[in-house]
Amino acid sequence: MARIRFRFPAWLLSTCGLIWIAGCATVPRFDRTGTRPADWVIVNADVLTSDATNPRADSLAVKDGRIAYVGPRAGIADFVGPDTEVVAGRGRLVTPGFVENHCHVLWIGGMTYLQPPELFACETQDEVLAWVKRRADENPRLPLIGGIGWRMNQLPAGPRREILDAAVPDRPVMLMGYSGQGGWLNSKAIELMESRNPEAFERLAPVRDPETGRCTGECLHYHVVNFLDYFTWEELGPEVEEGVMAAMEKTIAEAQSYGITTFHDVQIYPQFIPLILKFRDRGGLDGCRVRGATFIGHERLANEKQLEKDLRAWKKLRKTESDDHLVLGESVKFYIDGTADNRTLFLREPYSNDPTTCGRPDWTAAEFNRVVALVDRLGLQACTHACGDAGAQRVIDAYEHALQTNGFRDARHAIEHCEMAPPEDWARMARLGIVASMQPQHFFGDDMVEKSLGPERLQWRMAWNSMEKAGVRISFGTDWAAGPFNPAYGLLIAATRLNYKFQRDWGPDEAIPVETGIRHWTIDSAYNLFMEDEIGSLEVGKRADLVVFNTDLRKMPTLWFLLTHDVGLGAFDHFVDLTMVDGEDVYVKGRSPEEQKKRTPRFKGRTERRRRLQAQTGTM
């Protein structure tokens, strides 16, 4: 993002933080004789509830991890007892905890131990190579050198293995592109992957030299890469296992600092589930909620009986391994196409910069109809990556076919990203109950998106305003690590339609107010995840997942805000004062990670499974 710089004095920022941590200095006075004493109360705040029946309030109470009161200050006194912690809101914005409809917090989050997302900061090929060499030199014990974030337009000759060989010739180098679709490998990585698991390697769609047949180093479908197809946990060793869990913990903590309390990790592999359960049983998920989707590639349909058996085993995990903080066995992830940067979108009309191709889908129409009908028959939710208009149309057709075949139900099948769902299909999406699971940060785009799609298609790309008017249910997320975790950037982009040129020439009428964006990121995303009865809005009886902001996010699209604030990456990262899950503060501005770990939980926020583990082992 372009930067408009204005820095507040450091002393002012630190002072504001200390005032908040101390309880906002001027705590309202109550006689503390309430008949329904709560654990925690905030008064005189600007509470945006995401509850259509009670959209705004100024006071809120939490008792035993749930919302006990939401309303005017006049009614809060009855919830203030001798031990109630009372906080003066001083007009601060309070929202429900943000619900990530699509991200990779566990799988990619954990694997950042092996492939940090630091290549996003590189601007040239030389910078990428320098980082790769430095990573190898500083980590001689790592079994592979990974990274995320390189871009096709940084590589004049394309992602060639010889280029990486010159930087690191003696160890596998496996780099994921910024969109997740493109892969860049050196010769050692190609040799290892082809020898250990050739079938898995072919699923990455390696580009081969027409004369030699050797992989050039580029993979077109790198989004399905799974390190555990090529390495076992025993081979990686306990050091890597511990590093992966530490990386998951760090990723979750970062997201909490931006107000995210719930995640849909949309691509979890079976080999990774034991480590997720181990991480959960250690308490790693006590301060958040994660719903996981299993990934199904098109090759799985070759043995449909085995696929059905595996899906039934996946569904069983909903009963055997799920709890308040981890939900498995409900959703399934597919891909129908890719992204614009490596021309793997499936379009109805040719690419604007390559009239010879419309892209190629991952599934034929007949195959996708079959597999979606199977998933729907088993009562699972289908979540399909579709960024092109032809891709989205094929997905809508398959969802409609499944519901007609098996009988209509509240399936909430989702189109992930849903960047170019054809306007003529919006009414059909609404009728079928298809959720548009969108990530507004991707709208920002780059020159590769603009050149690939051309000006006409860009006018209705991510048409949030028109789609909602057509009755389509929209939910929001970030697609981390393909976008920054902080929802503030997505809310700003959705409200302004700013693109990479810092202009508003891509369908400006499709902008939506920040309040609407917050609703999409809270109750609508909770609906997307079948969690709307428990989270997503601040209503009495729901879980106390909430965020207290020190900055009114609704002011971000104003000229005053844009002229007086730095809007570059990282500039919005201090907007949250407090993030709460089940009534426990999982993030407090100014509190170090070490202090957070040592805190004594205020309420009973631990899962039943965690309590059972403690009873069995005697550990805390």
Which residues fall within 8 angstroms of residue 328, CB to CB, at 6 or more apart?
268, 273, 291, 292, 314, 317, 318, 321, 322
Which pLDDT score is estimated for 12? 34
| 494 CB neighbour count, 10 Å cutoff | 30
Which pLDDT score is estimated for 600? 63
Which pLDDT score is estimated for 603? 55
Kindly report whether the global pTM for this prediction surpasses the value 0.75. Answer: yes
Which pLDDT score is estimated for 8? 33
Q: Are 215 and 207 in contact (CB under 8 A)?
A: yes
Q: Are 267 and 292 in contact (CB under 8 A)?
A: no
Q: Are 343 and 373 in contact (CB under 8 A)?
A: no
Which amino acid, one-letter code, is at 395? V
The CATH number given to 10-91+564-617 is 2.30.40.10
Phi-psi region of 428 (alpha: psi -120 to 50; beta: other; left: phi over 0): alpha
Tokens of 342: 């490596």
% of residues, the chain, pLDDT over 70: 92
Q: CA-CA distance, 453 to 388, in Å (whole number)? A: 10
Condensed to tens digits (0 to 9), the pLDDT of residues 285-341 reads 999 999 999 999 999 999 999 999 999 999 999 999 999 999 999 999 999 999 998
Which pLDDT score is estimated for 212? 93
Q: CA-CA distance, 393 to 330, in Å (whole number)? A: 24
Bond prior to 121 in cis (omega within 30° of 0):
no
Condensed to tens digits (0 to 9), the pLDDT of residues 555-611 reads 999 999 999 998 888 899 999 999 999 999 999 999 887 777 777 666 544 344 334
Q: CA-CA distance, 427 to 479, in Å (whole number)? A: 26
Residue (of 207, 215, 222, 286) closest to 248 by Cα position? 286
Condensed to tens digits (0 to 9), the pLDDT of residues 102-134 reads 999 999 999 999 999 999 999 999 999 999 999
DSSP readout, 422-490?
A: -GGGHHHHHHHT-EEEE-GGGGG--HHHHHHHHHHHHTSTT-HHHHHHTT-EEEE---TTSS-S-HHHH
Q: Is the dihedral of CA 258, 261, 266, 270 positive or negative?
A: positive
Which pLDDT score is estimated for 594? 75
C-alpha 618 chain-centroid distance: 35
Q: CA-CA distance, 419 to 417, in Å (whole number)? A: 5
Which amino acid, one-letter code, is at 611? R
Which pLDDT score is estimated for 34? 93
| 136 CB neighbour count, 10 Å cutoff | 18
Asked if CATH classification 3.20.20.140 holds for the domain at 248-541, the reply, yes or no, is yes
Long-range CB pairs of 196-205, under 8 A, 24+ apart, other chains included = 196/229, 196/230, 197/229, 197/230, 199/299, 200/226, 200/229, 200/230, 203/297, 203/299
* Residue with the two structure tokens 């006071």: 59
39-53, 191-205, 247-261, 581-595, range with the lowest pLDDT = 581-595
Q: CA-CA distance, 31 to 40, in Å (whole number)? A: 15
In DSSP terms, which residues pair with 183 in a beta bridge? 176, 219
Pick the CATH number of 107-234 from 3.10.310.70, 3.40.50.720, 3.10.180.10, 1.20.1250.20: 3.10.310.70
Average pLDDT of the chain?
Answer: 91
Report whether pLDDT(135) > 60: yes
What is the widest separation between alpha-carbon atoms in the chain? 85
* Residue with the two structure tokens 């590093």: 243
| 495 CB neighbour count, 10 Å cutoff | 22
Which pLDDT score is estimated for 18? 35
Which residues fall within 8 angstroms of residue 333, CB to CB, at 6 or more apart?
266, 267, 293, 294, 295, 296, 383, 384, 385, 416
Which pLDDT score is estimated for 602? 62
Tokens of 443: 């709208």
Q: Are 565 and 6 in contact (CB under 8 A)?
A: yes
Q: Is the dihedral of CA 466, 472, 475, 479 positive or negative?
A: negative
Give domain limits for the chain: 10-91+564-617, 107-234, 248-541
Residue (of 326, 229, 255) closest to 100 by Cα position? 255
Q: Are 582 and 616 in contact (CB under 8 A)?
A: no
Q: How confident is the model over 96-106, as a mean pLDDT?
A: 97
Mark 60-97 as b/e (b = at least 16 C-beta within 10 Å): bbbbebbbbbbbeeeebbbbbbeebebbbbbebbbbbb
Higher pLDDT, 508 or 614: 508
Condensed to tens digits (0 to 9), the pLDDT of residues 30-86 reads 899 999 999 999 999 999 999 999 999 999 999 999 999 999 999 999 999 999 999
